[in-house]
């Protein structure tokens, strides 16, 4: 019996030299979830577990060249989009993905609208939010915002209840692909209370994923890690609900095992290889 082809997943994001978030976290999470990881970089950062001290955005045309080079040569099964930085890079990424539709289009696009780092440093210029909303949301198979990011995308107050989350997820879903095929995984980690529920909104309905809140300060890069795991599991399974279940189980395990690592003085990383390092 021939073994199934290993899927190829491309991350488009910024670099984190401390390894807990960004491109570095994406490569770890994609690899840990059984796929071949590739990367097109949008920005360099000087950061560690305590915060971001400097950001150097790459030239938009060069970001697009990286994406085009990968697609010219490699079958891309899924794309994860993370930190973009500004409107010009956001538009360049959208245009590059649109070009691939006539060549070898990716089957799945997971968009993590990275706006603020764990330490509070802003990673997306405010002017770029409009470009993200207008150019990338319509291309996304799944958008994976937290509650503050969702509120900023919609220009609404941050949700405080599950009912607020449901209303916001519906509004975000309407900004996705015109045919309604997209989905929204709205992360409820900022919701008050002991639970951390996530809501998946699709054309077929809404589905809640329940989880207890895990108390650890080592949560650097959780958004990057979850969205990358989701892109990998989408590439493998082809089913959004199944991929979300598997990605959620993975990130919960990575957070639960985070205290096994000893990385930095601030918000340490999750344990991407918790299931492999025994």
Rounded CA gap, 269 and 263, in Å?
A: 7
Q: Tell me the C-alpha distance between 180 and 199, whole Å.
A: 17
Residues in the chain: 278
Catalytic residue among 82, 224, 225, 270: 224
Domains and CATH numbers, the chain: 8-260 (3.40.1190.20)
Query: Closest by alpha carbon to 110, among 187, 171, 52, 195?
Result: 187
Reply yes or no on whether 222 is catalytic.
yes
What was the pLDDT predicted at 231? 98
pLDDT tens across the length of the chain (278 residues): 788 899 999 999 999 999 999 999 999 999 999 999 999 999 999 999 999 999 999 999 999 999 999 999 999 999 999 999 899 999 999 999 999 877 778 889 999 998 765 555 566 677 788 999 999 999 999 999 999 899 989 999 988 888 999 999 999 999 999 998 899 999 987 787 767 789 999 999 999 998 777 778 898 999 999 999 999 999 999 999 999 999 999 999 999 999 999 999 999 999 999 999 87
Active-site residue (options: 80, 223, 225, 268): 223
Active site residue 223: yes
Angstrom distance (rounded) from CA 79 to CA 8? 9
Q: Point out the catalytic residue in the list 141, 219, 225, 270.
A: 219
**In terms of Cα–Cα distance, which of 158, 275, 267, 273 is closest to 221?**
267
Q: How far apart are CA 151 and CA 168, in angstroms?
A: 8
- For residue 3, the model assigns a pLDDT of 82
Residue 219: active-site member: yes
Handedness of CA 230, 235, 239, 245 (dihedral sign): negative
Helices (H), 101-221: 126-131, 147-154, 162-173
8-state DSSP, 157: P
Catalytic residue among 7, 28, 80, 187: 187
Catalytic residue among 222, 225, 248, 268: 222
224 is a catalytic site residue: yes
Q: Of 82, 176, 188, 221, which one is the catalytic site residue?
A: 221
């Amino acid at each position: 019996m021939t073994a199934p082809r290993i899927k190829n997943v491309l991350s488009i994001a910024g670099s984190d030299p401390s390894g807990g978030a960004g491109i570095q976290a994406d490569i770890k999470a994609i690899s840990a979830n059984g796929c071949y990881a590739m990367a097109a970089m949008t920005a360099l950062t000087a950061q560690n577990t305590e915060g971001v001290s400097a950001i150097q955005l790459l030239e938009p045309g060069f970001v697009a060249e990286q994406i085009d080079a990968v697609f010219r040569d490699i079958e891309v099964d899924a794309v994860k989009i993370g930190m973009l930085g500004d409107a010009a890079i956001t538009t360049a990424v959208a245009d590059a993905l649109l070009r691939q539709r006539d060549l070898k289009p990716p089957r799945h696009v997971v968009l993590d609208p990275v706006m603020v780092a764990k330490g509070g440093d802003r990673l997306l210029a405010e002017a770029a939010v409009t470009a993200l909303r207008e150019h990338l949301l319509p291309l996304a198979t799944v958008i994976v915002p937290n509650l503050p990011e969702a509120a900023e995308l919609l220009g609404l107050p941050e949700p405080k209840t599950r009912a607020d989350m449901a209303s916001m997820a519906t509004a975000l879903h309407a900004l996705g692909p015109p045919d309604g095929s997209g989905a929204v995984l709205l992360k409820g980690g900022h919701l008050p209370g002991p639970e951390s529920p996530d809501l998946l909104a699709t054309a077929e309905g809404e589905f809640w994923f329940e989880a207890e809140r895990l108390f650890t300060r080592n949560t650097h890069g959780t958004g990057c890690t979850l969205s990358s795991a989701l892109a990998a599991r989408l590439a493998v399974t082809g089913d959004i609900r199944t991929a979300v279940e598997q990605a959620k189980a993975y990130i919960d395990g990575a957070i639960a095992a985070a205290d096994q690592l000893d990385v930095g003085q601030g918000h340490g990383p999750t344990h991407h290889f918790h299931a492999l390092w025994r």
